Amino acid sequence: MFYAVLTAAAFLPTVTIRLPLLALWPQFACGLAVHAALASGRPNSQRLLATLYLLLLGGWWFHVGGVTQAFAPLTAWLFLLTLAWEHRLPAPPRFLTAIGVASYSIYLIHVPFMSPFLNLARRLFDPVGAKFACLWILQLFLGVLAGLVFHHVIERRCEALRARLIPR
């Protein structure tokens, strides 16, 4: 219910003017819905709720802005659909697993590192040219690498400290 209220508030301009970060909540909640469905002790009921949330959000965004607006909830919904076959899939390559584990660190790095890099590239090169495409690929590689380093140096230490302070 709390997620639904926050999602509804995220579509109200009077709220998002005062709390601009709330405008990003629906995209974040898509991943949260998948996580809740995976982490629950009652996977079927949680998957049903997550599916309904994602379908309603995706349908609304598709109605408002088309496929690009509905990309996040519909992608998360596809992840939920494939969970039944998860145990049959081969193990992912180690580098993909490392990127998945460090995804929050990569997310934290993308604004302070990757965005300025791309803004500089846009000023130096034509955004539709081959040089810009090469710089885009380079910033993606460097951004992921910076996120992996951040994860190793900062996030892992914070997780170890949290585990010592808050035993399970």
The pTM of the full predicted model, rounded to 2 decimals, is 0.56
Give residue 151's pLDDT.
Answer: 92
Quote the tokens at residue 102: 């460090």
Neighbours of 5 (CB within 10 A): 9
B/e letters for 77-111, b = 16+ CB within 10 Å, e = fewer, are bebbeeeeeeeeeeeeeeeeeebeebeebbebbbe
B/e letters for 148-165, b = 16+ CB within 10 Å, e = fewer, are bebbeeebeeeeeeeeee
Give residue 43's pLDDT.
Answer: 61
Sorted by where each begins, the domain ranges of the chain are 2-88, 94-165
pLDDT in tens, the chain (168 residues): 777 777 777 777 888 788 877 777 777 777 777 777 766 655 666 666 677 777 777 776 666 666 666 677 777 777 777 776 767 777 878 888 888 888 888 888 887 888 888 888 888 888 888 888 888 888 889 989 999 999 999 999 988 888 888 876
Give residue 152's pLDDT.
Answer: 93
How far is the C-alpha of 7 from the C-alpha of 124, rounded, in Å? 39
